[in-house]
Structure formats: structure tokens, C-alpha cells
Amino acid sequence: DPTPTTQRSGVSVRFRAVTKEYGAQRALNGLDLDIQPGEFVALLGPSGCGKTTALRSLAGLETVTSGELLIDGEDVTRVPVNRRDLGMVFQSYSLFPNLNVIENVEFGLRTRKVPAAERTARAQEMLDRVGLGDFAERFAHQLSGGQQQRVALARALVTRPRVLLLDEPLSALDAKVRTQLRDEIRRIQLDLGITTVFVTHDQEEALAVADRIAVMNAGKIDQIGTPEELYRRPETGFVANFIGQSTLLTALVHEGRIALLGREIDLTDPLPEGALARVRVRPENLALESFEHGEGEPGAVVTTSFLGSLRRTTVHLDSGLSIVVQHSAEDTPEVESRVRVRLLQDMVTAHVD
Ligand code: ATP
């Protein structure tokens, strides 16, 4: 085998009108998805939208009700799991407790009858890649959760799979380890050029690592695009709500203008007199003001959370709406105190529907 141990150019993956029913429950509802060779695609969506079912169907762990699955242009819809040539990492640490780390990583090579010396060399190289070169002799119970997931990743990659499937691999880890491992998975994926499908319900995670994000809703894809496209130009209310915490506000158009959160705004695309303009605002489009001296809409602080360099505060406006404001971490509003929320003028017009 003259190729370097892990190098492999990516393959394409395609879901074509895939439907999966569990009795009367339709988990996938005509799912169409085209993934380019070497691409990192995140399947993002709320609980129950069908992400895991999509991934398990691609893996061959579920038999689809109708539709086709193609890997590298080949129809694998009826190909059994062990012949699809995929690597998988799940949410729960799935290491064999009675095998040490390197034996865990070698496992797939053993079942493929790879000779012992090559097996060890490839497993060791993968362990080095995930930063656990010195942990070969340990057992799962001697590893942290993050380390166990690294071993699971090495085990999934050592067989040089055509596609890497990750089902919420980080959700059992604490925040710091989660971010570290997330970035490392991305680095390794880029190194290997392996096509990767990553299931997550965490929009921040998806925005941070994916080439493209497919937002799923009720068994199909609502919108697919780069993180920037989804964030800046959501095509549905569902996507807008799901990516980057936003609130939809409405205001009556009067003489080509609307009044919103303490501002009079000229509409770039004028709407008819009396029309209801819809404006989507995000936490970073808003400012928190003092109740006494501000000009924004009055309300009361519900919660406030410290996020390092900045802070997010939820305000219940007197008009009945709750809204999240992002502001400097130096402002520390007290819960239940009276404040005002104002729109940052320059951010607005682009968001008018
Ligand atoms: P989560 O983030 O909660 O895991 P998900 O987006 O991955 O959600 P799926 O697990 O794919 O969603 O489930 C999609 C739908 O199919 C859900 O309504 C679920 O209850 C249903 N479902 C999944 N597996 C089965 C099963 N084995 N039998 C019956 N219904 C199922």
C-alpha cells in the first residue's frame, strides 16, 4: 500500500428524496442533500427533526422507506453497513472497556485482516494525530470524556473510511473541552480531506466548523448554505429563528417610515402606507439604555449572562415582547431593574422583509 496511511481525497454524498417512516411517524420526508467531495456539512435542527435518522440512514444502520443514497456516485441504498466504508463517532463514548486504547483503535483493521505490524503502525499514527500518542496502553476508564472521544475519532478514521459521520460527538463534554475538540476535529478533517457529516443541535458549533450548514425541519432541509449565508440571508422564519437568536418585530408603515424601539427608520424599499413591516433584529442590533436617560422602549431585565468580552441581557418590554440585547460586559444590569432597549440605527434597513 504505497499511499500515505491516511490520505484520501473526499467523495461526494447524495440523499435523493429519502423518506423514512417508523410506522405512522415520518422521520425523513423527501430529504434531498448534495455534499461535495471533502466538504464538512453540519446537519442542524431542533430535537426530533430527523438529523440522527438521516445520519443512520446514510450509515446503513436504518433501512430507508423510499429514495436513494449515493456515495461517490454509487447507489448504496441497499448496501449493508459494513460494506459502505464509513467511519462513525457517536455521542456516547463507545470504546470497548476490556481493550486498551491502541487495541480499540486497531479494532477495525483486525476485522479487515490487516497484518499486525501495519495495524500497529496505522493505529499509532492515528493516535498521534488526535494527540494521544502516549496513551496507547491506557483503558477507557483511565481517560477523560474528551480523551475517550479522541480515541473514538482515531478508531473511526484508522480504516480510511470514505466518509466520516459524527452524531453529536461533543454534547457530553464540558464547554472548554467541547470547543477544543471541535476545532481539532475540523483541523484533522481538513488535513485528511475527508467528507464529513456532523449532526448537532447547537448552532454555534455548526457555525464554527462547517463549510455548509443544512438546517433541518420536520424531516427535510429548510435551507442549506455557508454559515455566513444562513446568518445574513435566512430564507425562512424557521432558519432565522434557529440561527443566531433573533426576534421578529412588526411596525406600521407611515409615510415610508416606521417607528421601532426608539427609532424612526426610513425604509430602503418603500412599503405602502399602512403596511405591516417586518423587521428581524438580533442581539447585536440592539443597545441597552438607562431608563431615565434613554430613548428606547421601556422594559424590565429578566436575565443577564456574562459571555467573557460581552454580555447578553433578556428584557421583557412593556409592550409584552421579550428581547435579547448584546452589550459590553462592563454594563451589569440588575435583574428586575427598569431599562430601555434601543435599535442601533445603521443595522436596520437590511433586515426589513
Ligand atoms: P435529537 O436531536 O433529539 O436526537 P433528531 O433530529 O436526531 O433529534 P431523530 O432521532 O432522527 O431526530 O428522530 C426523528 C423522528 O423520528 C422523531 O419524531 C423520533 O421520535 C422518530 N424516531 C426516531 N427513531 C425512531 C424509532 N426507532 N422508532 C420510532 N420513531 C422513531
Distance between Cα 129 and ligand 1 center (Å): 33
Q: Which residue has the cell 434601543?
A: 342
- Ligand 1 atom at shortest distance from the alpha carbon of 201: 2
pLDDT in tens, 5-15: 444 578 999 99
* Segments of the chain with pLDDT less than 50: 1-7, 349-353
Relative to beta strand 25-35, strand 74-75 is unpaired
The separation between the first and the last C-alpha atoms of the chain, rounded to the nearest angstrom, is 57
The whole-number pLDDT of residue 91 equals 86
Distance between Cα 296 and ligand 1 center (Å): 44
Residue type, 110: R
Q: Which residue has the cell 455548509?
A: 212
The protein residue whose alpha carbon is closest to atom 20 in ligand 1 is 48
What is the ipTM, given to two decimal places? 0.91
The whole-number pLDDT of residue 46 equals 87
Q: What residue ranges in the chain does DSSP mark as E strands?
A: 13-22, 25-35, 40-44, 66-71, 74-75, 86-89, 163-167, 195-200, 212-217, 220-225, 247-252, 257-260, 263-266, 276-281, 286-290, 297-306, 310-317, 322-328, 338-343
pLDDT in tens, 267-286: 777 788 888 888 888 888 89
Three-class SS state of 3:
coil
Distance between Cα 173 and ligand 1 center (Å): 22
Is residue 22 in contact with ligand 1, taking CB distance under 6 Å?
yes
Distance between Cα 239 and ligand 1 center (Å): 20
The protein residue whose alpha carbon is closest to atom 29 in ligand 1 is 22
Is residue 49 in contact with ligand 1, taking CB distance under 6 Å?
yes
> Which residues is 167 bridged to in the sheet?
199
* Residues 196, 41: Cα–Cα separation, whole Å: 6
Q: Which residue has the cell 436513494?
A: 68
The whole-number pLDDT of residue 143 equals 93
The protein residue whose alpha carbon is closest to atom 1 in ligand 1 is 47
Q: Which cell is 194 given?
A: 475527508
- With the most atoms of ligand 1 within 8 angstroms of its CB, the residue from 21, 25, 90, 242 to mutate is 25
Three-class SS state of 71:
strand
What is the dihedral sign for C-alpha 114, 119, 125, 131? positive
Q: 335, exposed or middle or buried, with CB in 10 Å at 0-12, 13-18, 19+? A: exposed
Q: Which residue has the cell 447547537?
A: 202
Is residue 25 in contact with ligand 1, taking CB distance under 6 Å?
yes
The whole-number pLDDT of residue 2 equals 41
* Residues 34, 51: Cα–Cα separation, whole Å: 15
* Residues 328, 312: Cα–Cα separation, whole Å: 9
Distance between Cα 48 and ligand 1 center (Å): 5
The whole-number pLDDT of residue 344 equals 87
Q: Indicate the DSSP class of residue 254.
A: B
The whole-number pLDDT of residue 271 equals 81
Q: Residue 45 to residues 34, 48, 238: CA-CA distances in angstroms?
A: 18, 8, 10
The protein residue whose alpha carbon is closest to atom 25 in ligand 1 is 22
How many C-beta atoms lie closer than 10 Å to residue 321's C-beta?
Answer: 15
Domains of the chain by start residue, with CATH: 13-242 (3.40.50.300), 247-351 (2.40.50.140)
Contacts of 48 (CB under 8 A, 6+ apart): none
* Residues 299, 273: Cα–Cα separation, whole Å: 29
The protein residue whose alpha carbon is closest to atom 31 in ligand 1 is 22
Sheet holding 220-225: strands in order across? 86-89, 163-167, 195-200, 40-44, 212-217, 220-225
- With the most atoms of ligand 1 within 8 angstroms of its CB, the residue from 19, 26, 28, 51 to mutate is 51
Q: Which cell is 112 given?
A: 479487515
Q: Residue 73 to residues 32, 296, 301: CA-CA distances in angstroms?
A: 15, 56, 54
Is residue 63 in contact with ligand 1, taking CB distance under 6 Å?
no
Q: Which cell is 119 given?
A: 495495524
The whole-number pLDDT of residue 119 equals 95
